[in-house]
Chains A and B, each alone.
Chain A
Amino acid sequence: MIALSHITKTFRSGRGLVNAVVDVSLNIYAGYFAAIMGKSGSGKSTLLNCIGGLEMPGQGEISCFGTPINRLKAGKLSRFQRRHVGFVFQRGNLLSYLTIAENIGLPLTLNGIVGLERTQRIKRLLVGIDLEAAAKALPHELSGGEIQRVSMARAIAHHPKLLLVDEPTANLDTISGTQLVQLMRNLGKENGCTIIMATHDRDITNRADMLITLKDGQVISEEER
């Protein structure tokens, strides 16, 4: 389970102090597909970053499958992220100088998955995202939708317990976006991972097991389906 208890995150910016997340407490069960909704600036990305350990909350506790990640030191946190977390961002997800297969293989090597198993996993994922023929292509040779599919494959390649997805369909057309979410759900289910996704998209939220709505950094509704 992902358990957030009284999470608060404040930034100092040119506009003074910004309360990005304010006293958020949540429980998201393992295997759930949770969607976080809210307008721009409502704190969706910050909340995702806090859950994934990219951002440390100013106050509160975050427990990911029993690990208090906000108390981990940098090295242990990196190892936790490497092993148990997968991220998909809105854009620019891939390393430009690695081929599609190499990008997908990166988390596998980082987790010590090498040799035949690595090769087979990459191949399976490429088939799953329908990009088997583009294995040796570089990211700049792919379309936006293809890049997001590769990002998805890379994020789940090492079978993480938690997949954090930040507005993956923002730069995609409706069909590509729907296909991507379906693909993500399928791949996530295969590996039994918990998916938390920040999105504006109603179509996506309709498919979620849990819908969390944020406004000005606060949870205004929390709905299980």
Chain B
Amino acid sequence: MKPGLSGFWTRIAFLFLIRSGRITAALSFMVVTAVAALIFLSALAVGVEDAMLRNTVGLFSGHITGYELPASVQREKLLAPGVHAVLKRTCLPGMLSMRSISHPATLCGVNAARESAVTALEKKISKGRYPAPGRHEILISRDLAEIFNVRIDDVLRFSRQTSGHTIDFSVSGIYQAGLPGLDRGLTFCPLDVIPAKDASWSAAVFLNDGVEPDAILEIYRQRFSEPVRFESWESQMPGLRQLIELEAISMVIIIFLVFGVVAIGIACSFVIFIIRNMREYGIMKAMGVTTAEMSLLIVIKVVLMNFMACAAGVLAGILAVWGVAQLGGIDLTAFTSHNPYFAVSGVIYPRLTAFSMWAPPAVALMFSLLAGIWPAALVARKRAADILRWI
């Protein structure tokens, strides 16, 4: 085959698709809907991952946690492009007591205003409020409130584990996070009243959507010469990481399965269409069109049709994601209320990623090549005289 003829066959295939409008539309419809549906599903899966992440790291811990930062390190040093917020916390282990009851607890000094602005813990306060700055107030979990049988404004005494130094706090609020790690014994007081102002502190770093924690960790590694330990949510919550990976793998399997079925459908439809128009292929063979050219023409027809359908499918998928975002996401609270990964909100916002945009059309095009082989082989095997005698 002459090199210039591949362009000629592409043009012939294009004319075939355009002028067989209804058939092209009917065959394309299947691909358009499959691509659009899978782009939407991929975006939905990303949205579910985002929601799980937002609910877990957004409740308290952040995407990255910095441990035992020296008092000399300023909070601003952790700001970087892609970092949404850095919260400074000073946590002390100790013992909470009231009358004859004592229970181990960790007291965290926090900036209430910043915590409210960045984390979702405030939404989990069932009674009262965050401790006010400068006042000896404490926010405790419902588990601790039940242990001590305390109400708002009751006084609890905190004893430091190391020095035995004690300080009294009045209960300003009671929360229930729904996460055992938080509810077990974490309490909060204003940062400026914590009895350890020069102690090392921990940082909760919150990232913008789509920013990889590893990229920020690399910046911190370059920025801090002293031995400071940072951990991303992925190493802190391996269960969640695996769940997200599992979801991504499931999505890939679904994409392959759907397009496997769609490809078979397209191949069958094309075979029917080609059998109906077999005489035209016989005439082309009689004109001296080689088997290779004939096969190329059929494969180009199938791939070109899929290419056009994929473009329309991508557009439809993007519009569907955009439409759902405009409607305020999909509220699945009724199905997530007992799930710790959705402790704050069950609203899912589908989000398009590079993967969700290219994977469905790429797999569709790959399968379309396979879908073209069967009809091409069917025509290639038949001799012109047989076709002309047959039809």
**Residues of B contacting A: mostly:** helix
A49-B385, A54-B388 as given contacts; A95 in contact with B280, CB under 8 Å: yes
Q: Is the CB of B2 within 8 A of A87?
A: no
**Is A79 engaged at the interface, CB distance under 8 Å to the other chain?**
yes
A33-41, A101-109, A167-175, A199-207: which lies at the interface: A101-109
Report A-chain residues with C-beta under 8 Å of the C-beta of B286: 52, 54, 81, 87, 89
Interchain CA distance A94-B284 in the complex, whole Å? 9
Interface size class on chain B is 20 to 34
Q: Is the CB of A81 within 8 A of B288?
A: yes
**Is A93 engaged at the interface, CB distance under 8 Å to the other chain?**
yes
Nearest-neighbour CB distance to chain B for A7, whole angstroms, equals 14
Which residue of B288, B292, B389 contacts A83 across the interface (Cβ within 8 Å)?
Answer: B288
Report B-chain residues with C-beta under 8 Å of the C-beta of A55: 383, 385
Interchain CA distance A52-B290 in the complex, whole Å? 15
Nearest-neighbour CB distance to chain B for A151, whole angstroms, equals 9
Interface size on A, residues (CB 8 A): 31
Q: Is the CB of B12 within 8 A of A80?
A: no
**Is B8 engaged at the interface, CB distance under 8 Å to the other chain?**
yes
Q: Is the CB of B288 within 8 A of A110?
A: yes
**Is B353 engaged at the interface, CB distance under 8 Å to the other chain?**
no
Q: Is the CB of B16 within 8 A of A54?
A: no
**Is B289 engaged at the interface, CB distance under 8 Å to the other chain?**
yes
Interface residues of B in 268-311 (CB under 8 A from A): 277, 279-280, 283-292
**Is B167 engaged at the interface, CB distance under 8 Å to the other chain?**
no
Nearest-neighbour CB distance to chain A for B107, whole angstroms, equals 79
With most chain A CB atoms within 10 A of its CB, the pick from B5, B291, B385 is: B385
Which residue of B20, B279, B290, B385 contacts A78 across the interface (Cβ within 8 Å)?
Answer: B290
**Is A74 engaged at the interface, CB distance under 8 Å to the other chain?**
yes
Interface residues of B in 1-27 (CB under 8 A from A): 2, 4-5, 8, 12, 15-16, 19-20
Which residue of chain B is the closest to A95 with respect to CB atoms? B280
Which residue of chain A is the closest to B19 with respect to CB atoms? A97
Per-residue interface assignment for chain B, residues 178 to 216, with 1 indicating a CB less than 8 Å from any chain A CB and 0 otherwise: 000000000000000000000000000000000000000
**Is B140 engaged at the interface, CB distance under 8 Å to the other chain?**
no
Per-residue interface assignment for chain B, residues 360 to 391, with 1 indicating a CB less than 8 Å from any chain A CB and 0 otherwise: 00000000000000000000000111001101
Report A-chain residues with C-beta under 8 Å of the C-beta of B16: 97
Q: Is the CB of A112 within 8 A of B290?
A: no
Interchain CA distance A70-B199 in the complex, whole Å? 97
Q: Is the CB of B384 within 8 A of A54?
A: yes
Interchain CA distance A56-B389 in the complex, whole Å? 14
Interchain CA distance A45-B282 in the complex, whole Å? 15
Q: Is the CB of B385 within 8 A of A97?
A: no
Nearest-neighbour CB distance to chain B for A179, whole angstroms, equals 23
**Is A186 engaged at the interface, CB distance under 8 Å to the other chain?**
no
Interchain CA distance A86-B331 in the complex, whole Å? 68
A81-B286, A82-B287 as given contacts; A97 in contact with B279, CB under 8 Å: no
**Is A119 engaged at the interface, CB distance under 8 Å to the other chain?**
no
Q: Is the CB of B283 within 8 A of A92?
A: yes
Interchain CA distance A39-B116 in the complex, whole Å? 97
Q: Is the CB of A78 within 8 A of B383?
A: no
Nearest-neighbour CB distance to chain B for A44, whole angstroms, equals 13
**Is A98 engaged at the interface, CB distance under 8 Å to the other chain?**
yes
Report B-chain residues with C-beta under 8 Å of the C-beta of A138: 19
Q: Is the CB of A112 within 8 A of B289?
A: no
Nearest-neighbour CB distance to chain A for B1, whole angstroms, equals 9
Interchain CA distance A64-B4 in the complex, whole Å? 29
Interface residues of A in 104-154 (CB under 8 A from B): 106-107, 109-110, 112, 138
**Is A67 engaged at the interface, CB distance under 8 Å to the other chain?**
no
Interchain CA distance A39-B4 in the complex, whole Å? 45
Which residue of A54, A80, A83, A102 contacts B385 across the interface (Cβ within 8 Å)?
Answer: A54
In order of increasing CB-CB distance, the 4 nearest A-B pairs are: A82-B288, A81-B288, A54-B385, A97-B19
| 17 A–B contacts from the bound complex (CB under 8 Å) | A46-B385, A54-B388, A78-B285, A78-B288, A79-B288, A80-B288, A87-B283, A95-B284, A97-B15, A97-B16, A97-B20, A98-B15, A102-B15, A107-B287, A109-B5, A112-B2, A112-B4
- Contacts beyond the supplied A92-B391, A96-B19: 7 A-B pairs with Cβ under 8 Å: A49-B388, A74-B290, A75-B290, A82-B288, A83-B288, A93-B283, A94-B283
Q: What residues make up the interface of A, taking CB atoms closer than 8 Å to B?
A: 45-46, 49, 52, 54-55, 74-75, 78-83, 85, 87, 89, 92-98, 102, 106-107, 109-110, 112, 138
